[in-house]
Amino acid sequence: MSSTDTCIQSNFETLYLPIHSALFRTALMMTRNRHTAEDALQDAVTKGLKSFSKLRNQNHFKTWMTRIVINACHDVTKKQPDDMPLDYIEDIAHARGDHVIEFEVIDAVAQLDSKAREIVTLRFWAGLSLEEIAKTKALPLGTVKSRLSRALDKLRTALS
């Protein structure tokens, strides 16, 4: 490994480590399976590291890496049925470090359609701002706001 490669890897790790947990939670919510989430995240890290030198502004690393994780999750979940069992709820609670988390909420989020689930996941599990979600998803900010609003309405109905 050359000194340039070592420097790139070091810079990547410096930016990646603080957001690793959020990226894993995102992958877990999207794939609904711990092992699949780990595989998708590993694929994303490999892809991110390979193309890290192409990232123009490192201030956008979180958004950029989240997009890579989402794409990796989509690639993996294309092969899975949409009605997967909900045995991943404990994994999500464990990944959040929050054992008091309401399983009902996670179950309700899992029942949302994929677009709504993705927006809710990015906002509340990955901790992205609405602007970051818009950049990550390449959507207008208004679309992100309306999808989130509709998803939250569905969650309120499901949880009431």
Taken in order of first residue, the domains within the chain and their CATH numbers are 3-159 (1.20.140)
Look up residue 44 and give its amino acid.
A
Task: Look at 14-23, 76-85, 90-99 and tell me which has the smallest mean pLDDT.
Answer: 90-99
Instruction: State residue 30's pLDDT score.
Output: 84
Residue pair 72/43 in contact (Cβ under 8 Å)? The answer is yes
Average pLDDT over residues 54-77: 91
Instruction: State residue 141's pLDDT score.
Output: 95
